[in-house]
Each structure stands twice: as structure tokens, then as C-alpha cells.
Structure 1
Amino acid sequence: MTGRQIKLFLVDGSPGSLTTAEITNWTGHVLSAPRSELADLLKRDEAQRTGAYLLLGEDEEAVGNTRCYIGEADVVAERLRHHQREKDFWDRVVVITSKDANLTKAHGRYLESRIIDLARRAGRVKVENGTAPPLPALPEADASDMDYFVTQLEIVLPVLGVNAIRVPSAKPGPSGSRDESLSPVFQLRNGKLGVDARAQQIDGEFTMLAGSTVVGTWQGVGKAESTVKAYASYRAQHEHLVSDGAIAVEAGRGRVTRNIPFSSPSTAGSIALGRSCNGRREWIAADGSTFGSWESRGVE
């Protein structure tokens, strides 16, 4: 895998505050800030340029517990002032511009369209945009440049903790692949429940693979207060995945329609089984090893 150098700069020296991000030899520039520091962000030169932006806010009832609005503007600062007055849900903003200030209105619209499409494909946030604008016509060379620009965004944004456009890989790697970002394919089966799920760790995320069969509804309830709370969270995740089409329910069983990343193998297993799951023990590779044993390879 080719390494990348990403430069992060904490403007006031505090994590979580106004932050800039760049990749060496990339013309793009990303600026992230909490809403409480919007005034400082608006004073910066980057905010006076043409570009795209994401507004992010926590919402326990949203996909991935996050709501996201994606836009573009000739002068980003002017649009953000409007959103400060008109939109209440967001508590973080990410501004995407170019270091060489060469982005035009058409480039900004192209970015907006691509980012909205990626966010919907990723399925990690609730996209607040009511419509998805079509890609504007750009000269072939410009379109190629902007597509490369977007591939760099897909690297930079997760480093900033923004996974809105982090689309899981479409295909698993072969068993025994030397790519360190891929694991063997692990399986979780339960004949009584009709569960036959497959998963793989891809780019550091435990990902349930398209075509897996899972429970159609989440049945766990729990007794202890902590268990009840955990089960409610799992049920909400399952319901979100069903509502956004990631799990299609047919004849009482769920079919995974696209690769779904999870925070842990236990969460993935719980969503698949409709009950609590020790994912490091219950996900099994073709050679009989558990995910936990694969995860610990080379440690001792």
C-alpha cells in the first residue's frame, strides 16, 4: 500500500478545535471547526473562496447517529453565515477548498454532487439534502482532476474523524491476501435463526459483506439497565439499516444489500443474530480460527 503524508495543523493548539488538513502535492485544503468557532473560521482566507462544505450534527435517531448537510458556494463564508441563522442541527463544519484558489462554481457543484452521492452510498450518516444535484458538465480534463480531488478527500476526511463519504470496499480480498488492510472472510451461522453472515476487516473496519443473511427484526430485550440500554442501541441500528435499505427484509429474514462497516465484530454479530454476541469468538474463518485469534496474530 502506498503511504500518504497528511499534514494537520491545530490552529490554537487544542484537539477538536479549528484544524486544517492537507496532503503533500495535493491542491486541496480542508478546514474543520466546531460551530462555536465559526466566527474564527469565517475570518480565514479559505472561507472566502469557492468550495464545498459539510455541516455535521449528532442525532441518536439518525443513521450513524449523525446528520449531514452538503453544499457548495462561490464564497463559502456567505453561505455558512446563512446556515448559522437557518439551520440548528449542526455542531461541526468542514470546508473544502483549493490551495491554488482555482476552483470555479462548476467545480464546486461537481464536488457537491460527488460528495452527496458518496455519502448516500456510504450509508454512514443521514443526508439532509432533499435532492441530489446532477453532475455539471465539465471539460474531460477538469472532470478527471476533480475525480482525483475527491479520492484525496476520501483519505483526508476520515483522518479528521469525518466518515460521511467513507464507502466500504465493494469486494472482499482473496483469502490469504498480503494486503494488510484485508483479513480472511469470517462467517457467523445460526441455523435456527436462519443467519448466514460473512464479514471481513477492510481498511481497519469490521465489515459485514453484501449477500449475508441476518435476522429480520431485532428481538433482544435484556434485564439489567446496562443491557437494556445496549440492546436498545442495537435495535435502533438494525432498524436504521432496514429503513435505509442496507438490510432488505423478506419472509421474516434480512438480506444485506451492501457492505456495512461496524465499530466492532461484536456489534456486527449482534445485528446479525438479534442478540448479544462475542464477535471475537463467534466469527469463524474457513480454517476454523476465530476473528480474535486472527486479530492477535504475531503478538506473541
Structure 2
Amino acid sequence: MAERGKTVRLFFIEGTPTGRMKCELSNWTGVAYRIPHTMISKCTDRKELNNTGVYFLIGKDEDGITDKIYIGEAENVLPRINQHIIAGTKEWQDWTDCVIFVNKDDALNKAMVKYLENALYVLAKKANRCTIYNGNTPTKSSLSETDETEMLEYLDNLRLLMGAMGYKFLEEMESVPHKDNNGQLLTLKSPKSTYEATGKVTEDGFIVFKGSKITNDIANSFNKYGYCALREKLIANGTIVNFEFVKDYLFSSCSAASSVIQGHNTNGWIEWKTKDKRTLTDIMRETSE
């Protein structure tokens, strides 16, 4: 059967894209709300937010680039979000937005949302696109065959709406061939052989391939924030071992990738080159002519 398009409706409650947003999928009883941290107190006008559901707290990691998330569930979601705020230093406070999923008819029960919480944690962990703040893997509840089938469909719709809102941390990175296809493979090499890397532009950003080597020389201007912090995190979490990528890694941009590899802030659009020495800027000019 051929795949059909889907209709997603976005409603900006305050009339601006920076305020609260309601997100719905046609012919589905689920509904998502994206709410800035500063607007949680305004949400008493949304009664369905007191239903049973799952939620994400979303912010940025210490590098200021990588998403950091907390995944939770509750029988009364909005009061649970308020508990996060009231708890102060006992809970993570540096999130900027939360995304809540509930059913309009309040058909979800505790076992269902525990199942969803576990599944979402596993998806985010496998995708490896963000830092997960949960201390432990959420417990997976046991469901009947019919309820599990329903929750798997709920997960599919949830992921679709998360993507529509611009969040990709539940989506596993697609495998990208390391071989060169029509000059798509890009290299970054030091004249003194202190680093050597290969990668490709993808729809999601820029992927650096396993086996790429980074420099061990850090510029004094490459401070502890931004790309330097990202570099330190990749070393700490085992993505880079002995100055070498031990697995493919997706960066948000080509400049993030080149800066981590070269140990100072760089412009990836001119640093990454094809085997015939064309830069990414050259390629963009060629495709736009």
C-alpha cells in the first residue's frame, strides 16, 4: 500500500512562534504542547494538560550546542512539571522548553505512559543526538497485545509531531556510506599530519566518519565554551579515543566538525574539501548557478 501524506496543525496560542504551541495530527486523539519554561504558569487554561501523558524537558548541554533532555511521565502532567520547578536544585532547572503529549479524551493510563517513557528513553539513547538527564532507564511496563500495538502507533505519531516541531533527538542517524559518490566525500588534513578526517554533508548536519583523527594542539583562544566544550564532551563520553573518532558522529554543522578536529574556531565551509580541492562554498556556488 502506498504511503499517504499526513496533515499536521500548528496553533500558536499567543500568536507568536516563541510562545506556547499546540500541535495536532489529523484523525488522531493525541495532542502535543510545546511550552517555554517561563510560560508554564499560564497553562492553567489548558485543562487537558492535567491528563495522563509523557513529557520532555529540553535545554542545551554545557557546550551550548547539544540538546539536553529529561523524559518523564505522569498521571497529571502539568502538576508534575510544576514539581520540577518548585523542587529547585533537587531537579534540573536549566531547561528552556517542555513538550507534553496527552490524549484529548484522557484515554492513556499509567501502564501506557510508563511503556511510552521507556520506549522514548531507548529511542533517544540509540539515536545518540542529545544528552539524557534521566538518572536511570525508566521501567518498562507490561501491556496487553492490543494496548502495546496502540502504543507503538502512538510512538510513531509522537515522533512525527516532534519532528514537525523541530526536534530530531528521537531519530536514529541514517547510515551514510564512507565511499566517495560523485565527489561528495570531504577531507580535512593538516600539512603537518596532526589531524586527518573525512566526512559528508547530510540532511541533518555534517557527519565525521570513524577513524578520523583530531589534533592534540588546542589554541589558547579555543575557550571552554562552545566547540571546545563539545570536543571535551566527545572525549569524555568515548566518541573520541586517543584523538581518534571510534564511531561516526553527526555534528550540527561543518564548522562545528572542523573546529573540534582542528582545535580552534574555524569556518568549515572553506576548510572541508573534495579530492579535487573544491570547498563546500565552491560546491554551493556550482549548484546555485
TM-score by length of 2: 0.82
Between the two proteins, the alignment pairs up a number of residues equal to 283
The 1:147–1:258 alpha-carbon spacing in structure 2 relative to 1, beyond 3 Å, is farther
The 1:132–1:25 alpha-carbon spacing in structure 2 relative to 1, beyond 3 Å, is same
Secondary structure of residue in 2 paired with 1:235:
helix
Task: Map 1:123-134 to 2 at 5 A.
Answer: 123-134=128-139
1:16 pairs, out of 1, 15, 18, with 18
The 1:207–1:272 alpha-carbon spacing in structure 2 relative to 1, beyond 3 Å, is same
Q: Which residue of structure 1 aligns with residue 80 of structure 2?
A: 79
CA contact (8 A) 1:110 1:135 kept: yes
Matched, 1:257 2:237: no
Q: Which deviates further from its counterpart, 130-139 or 117-126? A: 117-126
CA contact (8 A) 1:16 1:33 kept: no
Secondary structure of residue in 2 paired with 1:31:
strand
Q: Which residue of structure 1 aligns with residue 142 of structure 2?
A: 137
Secondary structure of residue in 2 paired with 1:215:
coil
Q: Which residue of structure 1 aligns with residue 239 of structure 2?
A: 246
Query: Take 1:5 and 1:212, find their aligned partners in 2: how far apart are those partners?
Result: 42
Q: Which residue of structure 2 aligns with residue 291 of structure 1?
A: 280
Matched, 1:202 2:192: no
Query: Take 2:282 and 2:147, find their aligned partners in 1: how far apart are those partners?
Result: 47
1:109 pairs, out of 95, 100, 114, with 114
Quote the offset at 1:36 in angstroms.
2.2
Secondary structure of residue in 2 paired with 1:214:
coil
1:93 pairs, out of 95, 98, 108, with 98
The 1:219–1:62 alpha-carbon spacing in structure 2 relative to 1, beyond 3 Å, is closer
Alignment RMSD = 3.1
Name stretches of at least 5 consecutive residues in structure 2 with no aligned partner.
none
Quote the offset at 1:153 in angstroms.
3.2
Task: Map 1:1-300 to 2 at 5 A.
Answer: 4-58=6-60, 61=62, 64=65, 66-86=67-87, 87=91, 88-172=93-177, 184-190=184-190, 192-209=192-209, 211-215=210-214, 217=216, 219-222=218-221, 232-247=225-240, 249-250=241-242, 253-262=243-252, 264-285=253-274, 289-300=278-289
CA contact (8 A) 1:245 1:257 kept: no
Query: Take 1:232 and 1:62, find their aligned partners in 2: how far apart are those partners?
Result: 6
Letter in 2 for 1:103: L
Quote the offset at 1:147 in angstroms.
3.4
Letter in 2 for 1:257: K
Name stretches of at least 5 consecutive residues in structure 1 with no aligned partner.
178-182, 223-227
Secondary structure of residue in 1 paired with 2:245:
strand
Query: Take 2:145 and 2:178, find their aligned partners in 1: how far apart are those partners?
Result: 32
Secondary structure of residue in 2 paired with 1:298:
helix
1:112-131 CA distances to partner (integer Å, 9 max, x unpaired)? Answer: 11222233334443322110
Quote the offset at 1:79 in angstroms.
1.4
Query: Take 2:269 and 2:41, find their aligned partners in 1: how far apart are those partners?
Result: 46
The 1:149–1:169 alpha-carbon spacing in structure 2 relative to 1, beyond 3 Å, is farther
The 1:298–1:91 alpha-carbon spacing in structure 2 relative to 1, beyond 3 Å, is closer
The 1:153–1:186 alpha-carbon spacing in structure 2 relative to 1, beyond 3 Å, is farther
1:9-34 CA distances to partner (integer Å, 9 max, x unpaired)? Answer: 10121221110112334443210111
1:46-80 CA distances to partner (integer Å, 9 max, x unpaired)? Answer: 31221111122345x25735542210011212312
The 1:96–1:275 alpha-carbon spacing in structure 2 relative to 1, beyond 3 Å, is same
